[in-house]
Structure 1
Amino acid sequence: MKIGIKVGDVMTRNFVSARPDLLVLAAVKLMVKKRVGSLVLEQNGILKGILTEKDIMWALTKKKDLSGVKAGEICTKKITTIKPSADIYDAIILMRKKKFRRLPVTVNKKVIGYLTLKDIIKIQPELFEIAREGYNIKWPIDKEKEKEPEAVKEGMCDECGNYDILYNSDGKLMCESCMEDLR
């Protein structure tokens, strides 16, 4: 199934990038300042890696001190890229298959853009359903449905002592009023 929209038409052109020799702390500061969850690491326009929040968290669990560590040492180096001429549907399928939320867009190994799920959803919101199938992405309403407690039985509330219909909350039997106080 082709959608008829090219990756190059919707990709982020002004993506945030850095050199692989940038210290991790400086990379984190840059990510916070620019409000991004990842950095494209490139040298002379050539893609060297992607540094994500997840990469940083993994590094923190392995090493307590990242003060002298460079972004290129902990980044994801095995990177899947896509061409700007590819159909957006192919990008979605690739992202789902690899469980990536972003793809660098390259021509002759040079990074010219960055495609994110957000870019795709922005241009065609109905593509969200196709894109989300491979991820654990939920609408806020889905989360609320998950939280809906089911009545267990009638009895004394473990919290307030009132006799009422009880709901199980982490092993405690509570009335609806006490459950609402927890929210």
Structure 2
Amino acid sequence: MHDTIPVTEVMVTDVTTAPPDSTVTEAAERIRDRDVSSIVVVREGAPVGIVTEGDFARQLCDRRDLGDARLEDVMSAPLTTIEPDAAVSDAADRLRTSDVEHLPIVDDGDLVGIVTAAELSYFIPQLLRPPITHESEPPKRVVRTDTQYERDDWTFEYHGADETTVSVGDVATFSKTVTEADVESFADVTGDTNRLHLEEPYAAETRFGRRIAHGVLALGLVSASLARLPGLTIYLSQEVSFRAPIDVDERVTARCEIVDDLGESKFRVATAVVDSDGAELLEGEAVVLVDDLPPADVLEEVPAD
């Protein structure tokens, strides 16, 4: 759960540094010899700037000779940093909003580590993608959903260009309360009987301090939302990042937005699960295949139990 993992758990502590009066040539050699992508410029123990491989490329375009240039002449400053007690998700958000790829971690003015966009993307790929925004949402539609049954506690909404086909910009949401019975049934069906999900005294001693629902159970709500798209939806792939835990008896909403038509009835879908306050618990991206539904008269021949 990325909101509960401090950035110190994923940072690199052996940071390559150099003083401001080092030459660019010396810095380039150090980057090459240590096989790193940046060098943090440090003055009297405090980080004051950074020079990356990209900076070297830009400087080479602007200057004929970098041999005598000093790091203080070419470094990026002021430096964008983050505190060691910040969460991994905070680091990803800062990288994205600051439009940087290297984020030094500073504690009381001292450099203690660094995290990069490349490394973080392996750990939580979706967090570095910019959020999808639209000027307006498509109108609400009533679609044919071939689910065998529904429950009063479940809520589904579909906003799309029309009620019969899937197209880019369409949005489906499915909401339900994740109950005690859901968690216990999921544990029994899957075999995931981790005490974190089932025993309050045990869970109280973990980093969460309480019982939480299975993360994959939340992903199942995404599947429930996709199942109610127009057509017969078939999962092809799913990337997912678990940003925060789901509490037992919490009402959550899965949101699926069609973001790309890949051709041949395949679509890329931005997927998320949020709590009742709108806080994001899960984020990801799926690829689905949308087949035609069987004829409507088939439903009359299939037993409803």
- Fold match, TM over 0.5? yes
TM-score normalised to the size of structure 2?
A: 0.41
Structure 1 residue 2 displacement after superposition: 5.7
3-state SS of paired residue (1:57): helix
- Which amino acid is the alignment partner of residue 130 of structure 1? L
- Which amino acid is the alignment partner of residue 19 of structure 2? R
Q: Does 1:131 align with 2:144?
A: no
Q: Deviations over 1:62-91 (max 9, x none)?
A: 220111111121010121110000011111
The 1-side partners of 2:128 and 2:80 are apart by 17
The 2-side partners of 1:15 and 1:132 are apart by 26
3-state SS of paired residue (2:4): coil
Which structure dedicates a bigger proportion of its chain to helix? 1
Structure 1 residue 133 displacement after superposition: 3.6
**Structure 2 unmatched runs, 5+:** 132-261, 263-305
**Contact 2:11 2:113 (C-alpha < 8 Å) held by counterparts:** yes
**Structure 1 unmatched runs, 5+:** 135-144, 146-183
Structure 1 residue 118 displacement after superposition: 3.9
1:66-77 to structure 2, matched below 5 A, reads 66-77=66-77
1:26-105 to structure 2, matched below 5 A, reads 26-105=26-105
3-state SS of paired residue (2:3): coil
Q: Deviations over 1:31-63 (max 9, x none)?
A: 111111110111232012101122222222222
Q: Deviations over 1:98-155 (max 9, x none)?
A: 1222201001221111011244345x3xx20222447xxxxxxxxxx9xxxxxxxxxx
Larger Rg: 2
Which structure dedicates a bigger proportion of its chain to strand? 2
3-state SS of paired residue (1:95): helix
The 2-side partners of 1:29 and 1:99 are apart by 26
3-state SS of paired residue (2:29): helix
Aligned match of 1:7:
7
**Contact 1:12 1:119 (C-alpha < 8 Å) held by counterparts:** no
**Contact 2:48 2:78 (C-alpha < 8 Å) held by counterparts:** no
The one of the two structures with greater contact order (alpha-carbon pairs below 8 A, sep at least 6) is 1
Aligned residues, how many? 132
**Contact 1:41 1:50 (C-alpha < 8 Å) held by counterparts:** yes
The 1-side partners of 2:12 and 2:129 are apart by 20
Q: Does 1:24 align with 2:24?
A: yes
The 1-side partners of 2:3 and 2:13 are apart by 21
**Contact 1:92 1:130 (C-alpha < 8 Å) held by counterparts:** yes
Percent identity for Structure 1 against Structure 2? 27
The 2-side partners of 1:51 and 1:130 are apart by 24
3-state SS of paired residue (1:3): helix
Structure 1's 29 and 110: CA in aligned 2 closer, same or farther, altered over 3 A? same
Tell me the C-alpha RMSD between the 2 structures. Answer: 2.0
TM-score normalised to the size of structure 1?
A: 0.66
